[in-house]
Amino acid sequence: MLRTGLLVSLVAAGIGLAGTAHAQQKTVYMPAILELSGAGAVSGTNFRDGMLMAIDEINKAGGILGHKIETPVLDTQSDAGTSRAQLQKVLDNNPYVVFGPVFSGSVLVTQLMTLKAEIPEIVGGEAAAITQKNNAYVFRTSFGQQFSMPKIANYIHDSIKAKSVAVVWVNNDFGKGGRDNFTKEMKDRGINIAADISTEVGQADFSADVVKLKGANADAVFVYLNEEESARFLKEAKKQGIKAPLIGETTLLGQKVIDLAGGAAEGVQGHVGLTVDAPIKAVQDFAAKFKQRFNYVCDHNGIKGYTGVYFVKYVTEKIGKFDSKAFAEKAHGITITPKDEPGILMEAMWDKNGDIDRESFLGEVVDGKQKIVKTLPMLSKK
């Protein structure tokens, strides 16, 4: 009987019977559910570290409205089902806002729950569908694909002057969403899709895909893969001597990809929504602090995490209280400039759907570094 009792108490402790300790005075509970293991570990870890930097800075300066930020970070294992379970765990403790996830599939499942609970969710996902569901509680920290793809399409049309393009994409919700938006933009501009090559998450060997790519003989190649797969693809493309320009969207030009790909990333071009190489002093200062603290070069996900926390701080100070509903109402249509809140790094605006608008960049990889060649204005300021 004693043994049974012990077993029952162990089980109960494991599934959350024990009381929570977050309800301390003068703290605000803003948990994060992120991809710390699995296919999204690079993105999730960057997002987490960016967040932690912002939280430490804010807490050192007295917190938000005098409350220290309390942010436990829970791993989603890059899996939608686990994300759902972890979100339920944090919702049980009445959070003010929730940060993450970064993977779009995980955002699609968790956003249904935060909508029901009326808790704002500050996400890193880029799939177009995220902000097309009339959800008043989801806010992006980077461009959705419906905004980034027209920019990359203009670049291919106006600067590269390509008549045909091959698309290499990862067959998950992120890659498929990007591919669908990209091909639509290409058709609108009269550019022919010479090859449409889907690849697997975690794929190690890209030799067959690159052979197919060579056969297509396209004027340009658009690569839309996750970080590690991007690096493997670039190595194979270099090995097989692909001559057409390799164009990417943010990830392909990320420092992590450049480092993993070695020299194979040289000459890669594309659109970059967020980058630590942006010709903006605040961004570069942030990048230096990040490197000093974590000993690696931050990618765009780190900036998303960092600015996401400052976005919450600014909106909360505007409403003057920790009220999740009021936050969601106030955040729609808000514009934050670095003058208002230095931690936001670049002027940013959130529209009625929770989509973000800010300046973005055209870049190129030169000497193992991302080089910004042009700054594109905010969409709302064109």
Partner 1 sequence: MRRLGPSALAIAGVVAIGLPFLLKPFGVYLISMWAVLTIAAIGLNLTLGYAGQVSMAQGAFVGIGAYTVALLTAAGWPFFVAFILGGALCFVIGWLLGYPALRVQHHYLAFVTLAFNTLVFLVLRNEEWLTRGSYGIAGTDRPSLFGFSTDNARAFYFVCLAILVLLSAATWWMMRSPWGRAFVALRENPIRALSLGLDTRRYTLMAFALGSTLGGLAGGLYAPLVQFIEPGSFSLNMSFNLLLMVIVGGSGRFFGPFVGALIAVLLPEWMRIAEGYYLIVYAMLVMVLMVFCPTGVLGLFEKAFRPKKAPPPAPATLKAEVTR
15 binds partner 1 (CB under 8 A): yes
Q: Which of residues 33-72 bind partner 1 (CB under 8 A)?
A: 36-37
Q: Which of residues 273-312 bind partner 1 (CB under 8 A)?
A: none
What string marks each residue from 161 to 190 as x (binds partner 1 by CB under 8 A) or -? ----------xxx-xxx-------------
Q: Which of residues 128-167 bind partner 1 (CB under 8 A)?
A: 129
84 binds partner 1 (CB under 8 A): yes
Cβ atoms of 183 and 196 within 8 Å: the answer is yes
Q: CA of 286: how far to CAs of 52, 148, 278, 355, in Å?
A: 13, 24, 11, 23
Query: Three-class SS of residue 372?
Result: strand
Triad 202, 205, 207: Cα angle to 5°: 140
Minimum CB–partner distance for residue 140 and partner 1 (Å): 18
Q: Which of residues 197-226 bind partner 1 (CB under 8 A)?
A: 201
- Under DSSP, the state recorded for 380 is G
Candidate residues 85, 288, 366, 373; the one interacting with partner 1 per rule CB under 8 A = 85
- Closer residue to partner 1 (CB): 90 or 237: 90
Minimum CB–partner distance for residue 102 and partner 1 (Å): 15
Candidate residues 81, 215, 279, 333; the one interacting with partner 1 per rule CB under 8 A = 81
| Stretch of residues binding partner 1 (CB under 8 A), selected from 11-19, 160-168, 216-224, 249-257 | 11-19
Residue ranges in the chain assigned as alpha helix (H): 2-14, 41-60, 80-91, 104-117, 145-154, 173-188, 207-216, 227-239, 255-261, 281-294, 300-319, 324-331
| Stretch of residues binding partner 1 (CB under 8 A), selected from 74-82, 143-151, 300-308, 359-367 | 74-82
Query: How many residues in the shown chain lie near partner 1 by CB under 8 A?
Result: 35
- Closer residue to partner 1 (CB): 71 or 370: 71
Candidate residues 22, 63, 112, 379; the one interacting with partner 1 per rule CB under 8 A = 112
Q: What are the backbone dihedrals phi and psi of residue 212, each rounded to the nearest 5 degrees, phi first?
A: -60, -40
Identify the burial level of 135 via C-beta atoms within 10 angstroms of its C-beta, where 0-12 means exposed, 13-18 middle and 19 or more buried: middle
Rounded to whole angstroms, the Cα distance separating 215 from 208 reads: 11
| Stretch of residues binding partner 1 (CB under 8 A), selected from 83-91, 137-145, 153-161, 307-315 | 83-91
Query: Three-class SS of residue 276?
Result: coil
Residue with tokens 């002093």: 281
12 binds partner 1 (CB under 8 A): yes
- State the DSSP H helix or E strand holding residue 31, giving kind and residue range, or none if neither: none
What string marks each residue from 88 to 107 as x (binds partner 1 by CB under 8 A) or -? xx-xx------------x--
Q: How many residues does the chain have?
A: 382
Rounded to whole angstroms, the Cα distance separating 282 from 263 reads: 29
Q: What are the backbone dihedrals phi and psi of residue 236, each rounded to the nearest 5 degrees, phi first?
A: -70, -40
| Stretch of residues binding partner 1 (CB under 8 A), selected from 79-87, 225-233, 294-302, 320-328 | 79-87
| Stretch of residues binding partner 1 (CB under 8 A), selected from 86-94, 255-263, 275-283, 304-312 | 86-94
Q: CA of 117: how far to CAs of 8, 94, 96, 98, 316, in Å?
A: 30, 9, 11, 11, 19
- Closer residue to partner 1 (CB): 61 or 204: 204
Q: Give me the residues that bind partner 1 (CB under 8 A), please.
A: 4, 8, 11-17, 36-37, 74-75, 77, 79-81, 84-85, 88-89, 91-92, 105, 108-109, 112, 129, 171-173, 175-177, 201
